[in-house]
Amino acid sequence: KAGVTQTPRYLIKTRGQQVTLSCSPISGHRSVSWYQQTPGQGLQFLFEYFSETQRNKGNFPGRFSGRQFSNSRSEMNVSTLELGDSALYLCASSDPGDEETQYFGPGTRLLVL
């Protein structure tokens, strides 16, 4: 099976802009989780989608949002970008009932100038 894929791999934006990141899970996986990784805060959970519904949410402001499509592909959006949003954004997918075993994609490196 193909692994989790994320696009784009690298992105440069300026403050105030918005950005959309995409994630394609492993075939058959219905749960998709998003994480933000920064040197200062480490890996932090953003949100999780299952069957097109947000099932869990981390402690991030409303500027961070996401959605999931019927084919389980997911997107996350960040509006009104801030410098502090510069990070590696990781997407992970898992089998239903085995969410402790998540398969991560390579991530999208976002730089906000």
Partner 1 sequence: LAKTTQPISMDSYEGQEVNITCSHNNIATNDYITWYQQFPSQGPRFIIQGYKTKVTNEVASLFIPADRKSSTLSLPRVSLSDTAVYYCLVGDNTGNTGKLIFGQGTTLQVKP
Report 14-33 residues binding partner 1 (CB under 8 A): 31-33
Q: Which amino acid, one-letter code, is at 106?
A: P
Query: Residue 94 pairs with which residues in a beta bridge?
Result: 31
Q: Residue 48 interacts with partner 1 (CB under 8 A)? A: yes
Report 61-100 residues binding partner 1 (CB under 8 A): 88, 90-92, 94, 96-100
Contacts of 33 (CB under 8 A, 6+ apart): 45, 46, 47, 48, 49, 56, 91, 92, 93, 94, 99, 102
Q: Residue 36 interacts with partner 1 (CB under 8 A)? A: no
Q: Which residues bind partner 1 (CB under 8 A)?
A: 4, 31-33, 35, 42-45, 48, 50, 55-56, 58, 88, 90-92, 94, 96-107, 109
